[in-house]
Structures are given as structure tokens and as C-alpha cells.
Amino acid sequence: MSEHNVGSMTGRSRLLAAATGQPVDVTPVWFMRQAGRVLPEYRALRERHPFLEVARTPELATEATLMPVDRFGVDGAVLFADIMLPLDGMGVPFRIEPGVGPVIEQPIRTAADVDRIRVVEPEEGTPYVLEALRLLRKELGERAALLGFAGAPWTLACYLVDGRPSREYPQTKALMYGQPDIWHKLMDKLTTTTIAYLRGQIAAGADAVQLFDSWLGLLGPDAYQSYVFPYTQRIFAELRDLAPTIHFSTGTVQLLELIAETRPDLVSVDWRLPLDVAWNRLPPGMGIQGNLDNSLLMAPWSAVEAGTRDILQRAGGKPGHIFNLGHGLLPQTDPDQLRRIVEVVHGSPLG
């Protein structure tokens, strides 16, 4: 459980210190997709309630969010929700197909489709998300920082335009390259919605927010700069000084400097670059999150431990590192690996 003895800081102050480039007692740690998937107590909850019901019911979302905090003593509690939930407010019906992922009934492909998307405040579109955050902020106290999040406009557009998970998102790219006017209108609406959504989350109690741009690795630097960068930059500009921000993507070694130019407080990187190499490509003072290979957790503990210690050594005790995976936990992960990773990260003296 979470009672293992750590240093002198609380989980919340430790994570927030790292997120603002301040010194910490030991490295803060949390795991992307920690709130579901690998926990037997989550599976039991899911036997009683469908996924979207858990996500849309504040008391149930709170329960799922707290599970990994209680069990592993992580320093961050990521809200149990999904990047697709703002579609409720946009008036775009979707479902989550087990083993497949998000599916949109009527994909967004034309100017008329984009015009129909509603732009609303989260109090109207997703009030249950804000209520869950209010409950969680009270429940958590100083144990852990509360992390809000949103899908980034590019990644949301991939689902909205292609309509379902895909390897290449060809329809999305066809719209982007072929009908830039419609594309920019869509991205503008998604950006405005995302800013309101994240501002609402911060006002409701989120201590920091992460922007998930999961499919960004599909873009080269020119396309990123023309079709996505301005929107990401606008999001971080609008959130600056409200709460620390984390940019997440995977497979983006070709974009790292450009991502840094969107000016989040931290950049979450995957395992495709060693942590120190990635960090050296970010501007001075920018933090980094990562970057254990989520598949390495399938290997025996000795390999996981070596990978964990390697990352800590490459971070070198410098302020501004949050330990995490490079991408979300895989469903077949043994929860005991997570407990042991937290033990090593929290047990490692800095510097």
C-alpha cells in the first residue's frame, strides 16, 4: 500500500515541485493509464458498470481514480475519464467498443459536419468531469497531485474524421492536406473547446493538466507546423500561469524541438530516445516526463529494475523530471511491477 516511507515531501508537493522545475526530495512518479486496466479492483467495478457509466458518474470515477493511489503510493492521481468525453458537449455521439476503442457514429468529413459541432463550456457539456475533480481534490488531500487531461485537437480530429481507431488515419490526413479551410475550422473549434475544458478542470481542482496528442507521431515537421502547431501553442498560451502543463505524445523524435516551442511546462517522451538525449533537446528550464518502455513491464523484474534505474541515472537528479512510462500501461501488466517501480523511484537518493 501507500504507507511506505518516502522523503520529506508529500506526494502532491513533490509532483508539483518537479512540474515547476523546483528541487524535490525524491523523484515523483505516476503511470499513464494507471486508473484502469491492470487492477483487479477496477475489473470488479467494471463488472458492475459499463466503462462510460464509470466515467460519467462522479462517485464511480472518483473511486477508480483513487485505486492506484491507494495501492501504489503514486504521486499523481490521473482523473478516470477519457479523451472522448468532450464529444458529449460537442453533440457528437460516440461509443467505446471493447478491444477496439472509440467509434464515432457519423464521422466529421464536410464543412456542414464541422458547422454542426457545438462549442460549449464544460459546466454544460461535461459537468460530471468537473464534479469528479471537486470530489477528488477533497479526497486526495496532500497524498497526490490531481492530474486533469484532455485529448489534443490533432488526436481528437483523428477519431472524429476517420471515425474509429486506425493505423494511419488516412481520412484525417486527406481532409488536412486536401481541404485546409475545413481542417482549420475543425481545429479551431476543437482548440476552443479544449481550452475551456482544461480551464474548467483547473478551476474544479486539477493541480496540473496533461494534453494527450497520442497520434502525433504520424506527422512530419512541415505538416505539424502548418496544421497542428498553432493550435497546441494556443492551448498552452491560454493555460500559462493557471497550472503546470504537460505535453504528451509518442513516436515524435522528429518533432521534439517544435513541440518544445508550443511551450508546455514539461514534455512527456517515450523510450525511442534515452531520457538525457531527449532532455538535452529541450530548452533550458523545461521539464521532462518519462520514459520507461511500457512493454518492458512484460519482462522479468530484473530487467524492469535496470530500466528504471537507467532513467533515474540519466535524469541525474536535475529538477524537472517526473518518472512515468513512455505510453499507457498495457492491460496484461502485472500490478506488482508497478509497486516495485514506485519503491525504486522513491527509494533512490537524488544527485
Residues annotated as catalytic are 33, 37, 46, 82, 159
Judged by CB, which is closer to ligand CP3: 84, or 304? Answer: 84
Q: What is the CA radius of gyration of the chain?
A: 19
Report which DSSP code applies to 180: H
Query: Parallel, antiparallel, or unpaired: how do β-strands 76-78 and 321-325 relate?
Result: unpaired
Judged by CB, which is closer to ligand CP3: 214, or 245? Answer: 214
Distance CA 136, CA 76 (A): 12
Number of other CB atoms surrounding residue 351 within 10 Å: 6
- Residue 114 CB, shortest distance to ligand CP3, in Å, is 21
**C-alpha angle with apex 235: 287 to 14, nearest 5 degrees?**
30
Query: Parallel, antiparallel, or unpaired: how do β-strands 245-248 and 266-268 relate?
Result: parallel
Report which DSSP code applies to 217: G
Query: Parallel, antiparallel, or unpaired: how do β-strands 76-78 and 266-268 relate?
Result: unpaired
Report which DSSP code applies to 184: H
Distance CA 16, CA 146 (A): 10
Question: Which residues of the chain form contacts with ligand CP3 (CB under 6 A)?
Answer: 33-37, 46, 51, 78, 80-83, 96, 98-99, 101-102, 149, 212, 214, 327-328
Residue 231 phi/psi, 5° resolution? -75, -45
Judged by CB, which is closer to ligand CP3: 50, or 221? Answer: 50
- Residue 111 CB, shortest distance to ligand CP3, in Å, is 26
Is residue 244 exposed (0-12), middle (13-18) or buried (19+ Cβ within 10 Å)?
A: buried
- Residue 184 CB, shortest distance to ligand CP3, in Å, is 23
- Residue 289 CB, shortest distance to ligand CP3, in Å, is 13
- Residue 319 CB, shortest distance to ligand CP3, in Å, is 25
Judged by CB, which is closer to ligand CP3: 229, or 248? Answer: 248
Judged by CB, which is closer to ligand CP3: 140, or 302? Answer: 140
